[in-house]
Amino acid sequence: MHVQSAPAVIPHYQASFRPGEFTRNVIHDGSPVRVAEELAAAGVRHVLAGAESGVSLAEWLAARLGLPGNDPALPGARRDKSLMASQLRRHGLDAPAGIRATARAEALAWTGRHGRWPVVVKPVESAATDQVHVCEDAAAVGRAFDGILGATNVLGSTNDAALVQEFLAGVELAVNTVSHAGRHHVAEVWRYAKRPGPDGTVVYDHEEALPAAAPLAVVAAGYVCRALDALGVRNGPAHSEVMHTGRGPVLLETGARLPGMVLPAAMTACFGVSQVELTVDAVVDPDGFDRLVGLPYTTRVHLRNVFLVSPRDGVLARDDQFQLLRDVPAFAGMSLSVRAGTRLRRTCDLWSSPGHVALAHTEASAVAAGHDRIRELEATVLYPVGDALPVPHPHEQGSTVG
């Protein structure tokens, strides 16, 4: 069954939401008690968040029905990034210094006390670098704050505050986990590469899987498991982003759900099992899952997810050219969020990325070559807008996006 957490599906999810794949779609129209009663009548025994927009409702439903879930006393700490940081510090873990500001004067006063540039300004509750700004001076902080406060974020809620935080320099990592009854299994650790986007935004370039024994992976995994305890994550998948700084690992945020745009087949090719499969195992075979907890994952190939970056705004005139991506070296799969007729945005965050391509190979050089080829195609044929169409490559004729 699927619980639609709001009457209208968030635009970013519309392309991938296929209600026909569920036995029933229950629409939450503001009455969570009614939804809980419908799930109870159907004999539902587990509730899992499908995306960040469903985390709060999924956890409330699990608690209401007496089903496995996360600590109901700490729901805000798994959505509100300022509460998240406070909870980490309460448990002796490092967290970013910052302030939850509801007025521009508060934001500027904190940056004055902080006395170091740059700083980061972002929504308190959002996801995927939505409205994240790296600010080099007070004027930029003011502009970022004004653009965030009162605006609707990508998850469909109104920003009633902005988070102003220290800028953390270092290596950014993602740690994906699955938990059962408070025990955490690390499914994979990734190293991010990002680059500056337009107007102080941050754009994902790629993420690369790290071996479990890599020093950065070991330190980040240990820190994240302690952070999950502090945040009350006890059951289900989680996606945690960590900056490894000169003072050690610091949590940027944890999402109590699977990461977005997952290609399970590519994950299985690298790790032998995907976080999606492990999530299912924790529900249907908890004893078998418990035997995996604490065992290091394996990496069989070099795996890199390359995020597509659109250089322009406009309406995508056609989409068959994306089939050219299947011929890049080390291609292992792709996930697209655009098709012909989609209004492209110049990529400024993960939400405005047209998709991503998974590259997997036993040779790192093949993965690097595939990455280079993707960027070449982006610069030439991937994003025809309006009537200014490129001359079709012979390979493009007759192909369709899969």
- Residue 237 contacts by C-beta under 8 Å, 6 or more apart in sequence? 48, 176, 177, 178, 179, 256, 257, 258, 275, 278, 279
| Beta carbons of 358 and 305 less than 8 angstroms apart | yes
Other beta carbons within 10 angstroms of residue 277's beta carbon come to: 16
Statement: residue 63 has pLDDT above 80 = yes
Distance separating alpha carbons of residues 296 and 221, to the nearest angstrom: 10
Tokens of 144: 């970022």
pLDDT tens profile 129-169: 667 888 999 999 999 999 998 887 766 678 889 999 999 99
Q: How far is CA 210 from CA 14, 198, 259, 347, in A?
A: 32, 29, 17, 26
pLDDT of residue 151: 82
CATH class (in words) of the domain with range 97-166: alpha beta
Higher local confidence (pLDDT), 395 or 178: 178
Task: Of 273, 267, 220, 272, give the one whose Cα is nearest residue 248.
Answer: 220
pLDDT the model gives residue 201: 76
Q: Which CATH class is domain 171-300?
A: alpha beta
Domain-by-domain residue ranges, the chain? 2-75, 97-166, 171-300, 303-396
Torsion angle of C-alpha atoms 63, 69, 72, 78, degrees rounded to 10: -130
In words, the CATH class of domain 303-396 is alpha beta
Pairing of strands 119-123, 171-180: unpaired
How many angstroms separate the CA atoms of 282 and 180, rounded?
6
**Which residues, in sequence order, are bridge partners of residue 359?**
304, 331
Identify residue 137 by its one-letter amino acid code: D
Interior angle at CA 233, CA 204 and CA 210, nearest 5: 40
Average pLDDT, the chain: 90
Residue 95 has pLDDT above 80, yes or no: yes
Identify which of 122-136, 169-183, 332-346 has the greatest average pLDDT. Answer: 169-183
Mean pLDDT of 384-398: 47
At residue 348 the predicted structure's pLDDT band, cuts being 50, 70 and 90, is confident
Give the helix/strand (H/E) hosting 108: helix 104-114
- Whether 171-300 and 97-166 are alike in CATH topology: the answer is no
Q: What is the pLDDT of residues 214-253, one digit of tens each?
A: 999 999 999 999 999 999 999 999 999 999 999 999 999 9
Which residues have CB under 8 Å from 211's CB, separation 6+? 217, 299
